[in-house]
Structure 1
Amino acid sequence: MKAVTGRTDHVVVVGAGLAGLSAALHLLCAGRRVTIVERDPLPGGRAGRIERDGYRFDSGPTVLTMPHLLEEAFAAVGQEMSRRLTLRPLHPAYHARFADGSSLDVHTGAQAMEAEIERFAGGREAAGYRCLRQWLHELYRAQMGRFIDTNFDSPFSLLNPDLVKLAALGGFGRLQPKIGQFLSDERLQRVFSFQALYAGVPPARALAAYAVIAYMDTIAGVYFPEGGMHAVPTAMSQAAADAGATLLYGQTATRLERVGDRITAVVTDRGRVPCDAVVLTPDLPVAYHLLGGRPRRPVALRHSPSAVVLHVGTDRTWPELAHHTILFGAAWKQTFKELTRTGALMSDPSLLVTRPTATDPALAPPGKHTHYVLAPCPNTTVGPSAVRWTYLGPRYRDTLLRELERRGLTGFEDAIDTEVLVTPADWAARGHAAGTPFSVAHTFPQTGPFRPRNLVRGTANAVLAGCGTTPGVGVPTVLISGRLAAARITGLPGATRRSAARPLPEEKKGNPA
């Protein structure tokens, strides 16, 4: 594994999001002095917090999986996660509702999920699910240590025994047809393939290897932190501070000072912070701007679809909503064509509705409720520009409310106390390329060793972390990216293998099998 050369005693981490905080904790573990520079007044980055009229909304991710990665980050500085953060497992992990009126609870326990599938689609599909579950286990084992939790130095890093295992498992085929080998019911196929959208690729075109995300969601388990998702970066930042890190909030990095190929200081709008090495976690265009240039690639980077998010505080809720509810539309292939090719808004949308107060009522005033409505939409390179979204946003908000009413959430608009609408224009204003918080899509030329590298050419002591670099998008992978960045600085590759050596998450937690 290639590593930063020269002195690395003092590391400045730009960004106190999940990737930056993960990097900081693992750097502190290796004895480095760490300073974190964050433009916002609080930690979190994408996992931020919006407070409005007594309601607390998580501004970023709402799904937390693979909590053992968080445990490792806290353990790096000798702390127990449970002393700072309370995670509640969600049962069911999701509730799925379909256009034909049918519905399905998605359980992480094998027996519970088999019984639910048998009720929903019959014994043959339940038997298929058992085979699918075993395949997902094997896929996870083949991928985690060698393809996700690893620093690639070249494409030749792929040449290892697990590559043969992954190929034998069909990991280089297409996701949706592979899921179809186990499940013939099209509705069930959606439940185990929609996760490809997290990676920015339609299920029909995504590599089957990305079913590992379905493993994380539907087998390893989904959790929710007491206090909301923002409680995670809050706890991580407190742990870093207690371990000796300096956190500078409300300071925006404006440029990097360098001597030759070494970064010598991070300059902010409020001062100068000398460093021996730097970890950059902003979205790639911001990071490359600070570095003074972008790497040459034969083909321009493709970005994932974006999302419109409507945060709503209401005076009532709807009993059919679980903590996470997926409202599938009738269209499927057409939806992905609109999102990734034609740039049109979904003509028959599939929506994620999250109700955090189902698990933590303290996130709203007494007797009130919070709802998070996510509607995937094209990014600004294939769909409406950020400028157009400024005008389109309010109209699309009305469209979403009508759609929720049509899907059975009667009286939704009348129940609204307060709301916050977030569109691609807002993501673009935060510095997210193509107006998407999901960064670079996981197409094959942008995956593994072909993804923008975390070790920056042209500098001897700068490393990237976050969803734009290795290993990619999602809370678990972003936490790993911070640890991989720390390993590049410390030169300790063993630190990057801890999660791969552990038991599978469900084996550790003792979920029913």
Structure 2
Amino acid sequence: MSRAVPSADHVVVVGAGLAGLSAACHLVGAGRRVTVVERDDAPGGRAGRIRRGGYLFDTGPTVLTMPHLADEAFRAVGTSLREHVELLPLHPAYRARFADGSSLDVHTDAHAMEAEVERFAGPREAAGYRDLRHWLTRLYHAQMRRFIDTNFDSPWQLLTPDLGRLAALGGFGRLAPRIGHHLRDERLRRVFSFQSLYAGVAPARALAAYAVIAYMDTVAGVWFPRGGMHALPRALAGAAAAAGAEFRYGSTVVRLERSGQRVTAVVTDRERIPCDAVVLTPDLPVTYRLLGRAPRRWVPLRFSPSAVVLHLGTDRTWPELAHHTLSFGRAWERTFDELTRTGELMTDPSLLITRATATDPSLAPAGRHTHYVLAPAPNTAVGPDATTWGDLAPGYRRHLLDTLEQRGLTGIGGAIEEELLVTPADWAARGHAAGTPFSAAHTLAQTGPFRPRNLVRGLENAVVAGCGTTPGVGVPTVLISGKLAAARITGPPRPGHSAHSAHSGHPVRPLPSPIAGAAHDGP
């Protein structure tokens, strides 16, 4: 594995999102002096927090999967996840509601889910689910160590026995047909394939290998931190600071000073910070602007669809809503065409509704509730641009509320006490390419060693982390990206401490706590 100045003593990490915090923990744990520079007044990045009239809204991810990956960052600084965050298991992980009026609770426990599938669609589909679960587990183990939790220096690194295992499992086929190999019921196929949208590709076109996201969501377990998802970055920042990392909040990086092929200082709007190495975690356009160069690639980067998020604080809730409810419209293929090809807003939207107060009532005033309504939307390169959203937003808000009302959330408009609407224009204003928080799509040409590399061409001591680089989008993979970036400076972790070996199949048991790229491209 190539390294960026392994002798670096003082490392500046730009950005206190999950990737930056993970990198900071691993760097401090390896004996480096670390300064974290963050433009906001608190850690979190996309996993931020907004307070409105006593309501606490998570701004990004809504659940935690693969908690052992977060635990790795804590253990790097001599503590553990369970000492800082109380994780609450979600049962069910999701509730899926369909346009025909049917409903399915998605359990991560094998026996509970098999029984639920049999109730929902009969014994043949239950048997198909058993086979699918076995396949998802094998797929995860074939991918994790060699293709996800690894630093790539060359596509030749793909040539391992695990590549053959992945091919034998059908990982290089298409996702939708592969799920259909196990399940005939179209509703069940949706439940196990919609996750590819997180990777920016429709199920019909996504690699079957991306069913690994369904493994994380439907097999490995789903948790919610007490205090909301923002409790995780707060705890990571606290652990890193206790181990010696310095945090400079409210500081925006404006440029990097260089001498030859080295970054010698990070300059903010407040100060100049000399350094021996730098880890850059902003979204790709901001990182490339700071570096003064874009990557050399055979084809331009393609970005994932975006999302409109409607945060609602209400004086009531609806009992049919679980912590997570997937509300599917009748349309399916057309929906993905609208999001990724034609650039239209969904005419028959499928929505993710998160009611965090179902698990943690402290996130709202007594007797009140939070509802986070996520509607996938075209990014600004495919659909309406950022300037257009100012006119579209009020009408689209009404459309979402009307859709929720028609799907059983009677009286939702009149129940709202606090609200916030986030559109692709807001993501663009935060510096996210194409107005999407999901960064570069996981097409074949942007996966594994073909994703933007975390080493910077032409600079000896700059490393990139975050969802735009390897391994990709999502809380688990972003935590890994921070660890991989740190390893470029410190060398790989000691044997026995990788994410692959740490995952024994048993979740981290939380306890209550007071703290509720490839050689062919690169910048």
The bucket for the TM-score relative to the shorter chain is: over 0.9
The whole-number CA distance in structure 2 between the counterparts of 1:337 and 1:240 is 43
The whole-number CA distance in structure 1 between the counterparts of 2:481 and 2:496 is 10
Match of 2:248 in 1: 248
Match of 2:152 in 1: 152
Question: How many pairs does the alignment contain?
Answer: 509
Match of 1:68 in 2: 68
The whole-number CA distance in structure 2 between the counterparts of 1:465 and 1:492 is 16
**Superposition pairs of residues 330-369 of structure 1, within 5 angstroms:** 330-369=330-369
Can you list the C-alpha shifts for 1:233-258, whole angstroms capped at 9, x where unaligned? 00000000000000000000000000
**Superposition pairs of residues 38-49 of structure 1, within 5 angstroms:** 38-49=38-49
The whole-number CA distance in structure 2 between the counterparts of 1:398 and 1:279 is 42
Answer whether contact 1:306 1:377 (CA < 8 A) is retained: yes
Would the alpha carbon gap of residues 314 and 496 (structure 1) be closer, same or farther in structure 2, given more than 3 Å must change?
farther
* Alpha-carbon distance, 1:316 to partner: 0.1
* Alpha-carbon distance, 1:380 to partner: 0.2
Would the alpha carbon gap of residues 323 and 459 (structure 1) be closer, same or farther in structure 2, given more than 3 Å must change?
same
Answer whether contact 1:487 1:496 (CA < 8 A) is retained: no
* Alpha-carbon distance, 1:500 to partner: 1.0
The whole-number CA distance in structure 2 between the counterparts of 1:89 and 1:477 is 20
Answer whether contact 1:145 1:497 (CA < 8 A) is retained: no
The whole-number CA distance in structure 2 between the counterparts of 1:501 and 1:371 is 37
Can you list the C-alpha shifts for 1:210-242, whole angstroms capped at 9, x where unaligned? 000000000001110000000000000000000
Q: Secondary structure at the match of 2:127?
A: helix
The whole-number CA distance in structure 2 between the counterparts of 1:47 and 1:6 is 30
Match of 1:501 in 2: 501
Q: Which amino acid is the alignment partner of residue 277 of structure 1?
A: A
1:428 aligns with 2:412: no
1:403 aligns with 2:403: yes
- Bigger mean CA deviation after superposition, 78-87 or 443-452: 78-87
**Superposition pairs of residues 304-383 of structure 1, within 5 angstroms:** 304-383=304-383
Match of 1:105 in 2: 105
* Alpha-carbon distance, 1:6 to partner: 5.8
* Alpha-carbon distance, 1:505 to partner: 3.2
Can you list the C-alpha shifts for 1:314-350, whole angstroms capped at 9, x where unaligned? 0000000000000001110000000000000001100
* Alpha-carbon distance, 1:72 to partner: 1.0
Match of 2:23 in 1: 23
* Alpha-carbon distance, 1:5 to partner: 2.5
The whole-number CA distance in structure 2 between the counterparts of 1:392 and 1:505 is 46
Q: Which amino acid is the alignment partner of residue 451 of structure 2?
A: R
* Alpha-carbon distance, 1:508 to partner: 7.5
The whole-number CA distance in structure 2 between the counterparts of 1:388 and 1:63 is 31
Q: Which amino acid is the alignment partner of residue 57 of structure 1?
A: F
TM-score normalized by the length of structure 1: 0.98
* Alpha-carbon distance, 1:295 to partner: 1.4
Answer whether contact 2:68 2:507 (CA < 8 A) is retained: no
Q: Secondary structure at the match of 1:216?
A: helix
TM-score normalized by the length of structure 2: 0.96
* Alpha-carbon distance, 1:496 to partner: 9.6
Match of 1:116 in 2: 116
Q: Secondary structure at the match of 1:473?
A: coil
Match of 1:475 in 2: 475
Q: Which amino acid is the alignment partner of residue 222 of structure 1?
A: V
Q: Which amino acid is the alignment partner of residue 84 of structure 1?
A: H
**Superposition pairs of residues 109-508 of structure 1, within 5 angstroms:** 109-492=109-492, 494=494, 498-506=498-506
- Bigger mean CA deviation after superposition, 334-343 or 483-492: 483-492
The whole-number CA distance in structure 1 between the counterparts of 2:245 and 2:152 is 28
The whole-number CA distance in structure 2 between the counterparts of 1:367 and 1:27 is 44
Match of 2:519 in 1: none
Answer whether contact 1:219 1:506 (CA < 8 A) is retained: no
Answer whether contact 2:97 2:104 (CA < 8 A) is retained: yes
The whole-number CA distance in structure 1 between the counterparts of 2:120 and 2:107 is 13
Identity %: 73
Would the alpha carbon gap of residues 370 and 508 (structure 1) be closer, same or farther in structure 2, given more than 3 Å must change?
closer
Q: Which amino acid is the alignment partner of residue 268 of structure 1?
A: T
Answer whether contact 1:312 1:420 (CA < 8 A) is retained: yes
Can you list the C-alpha shifts for 1:355-394, whole angstroms capped at 9, x where unaligned? 0000000000111000000000000001000000111111
Q: Secondary structure at the match of 2:471?
A: coil
* Alpha-carbon distance, 1:497 to partner: 5.9
**Superposition pairs of residues 76-115 of structure 1, within 5 angstroms:** 76-115=76-115
The whole-number CA distance in structure 1 between the counterparts of 2:182 and 2:400 is 34
Q: Which amino acid is the alignment partner of residue 414 of structure 2?
A: D
Can you list the C-alpha shifts for 1:270-327, whole angstroms capped at 9, x where unaligned? 0111100000000000001001111111211000000000000000000000000000
Q: Which amino acid is the alignment partner of residue 174 of structure 2?
A: R
RMSD over aligned Cα atoms: 1.1
Would the alpha carbon gap of residues 70 and 6 (structure 1) be closer, same or farther in structure 2, given more than 3 Å must change?
closer
Q: Secondary structure at the match of 1:387?
A: coil
Would the alpha carbon gap of residues 13 and 496 (structure 1) be closer, same or farther in structure 2, given more than 3 Å must change?
farther
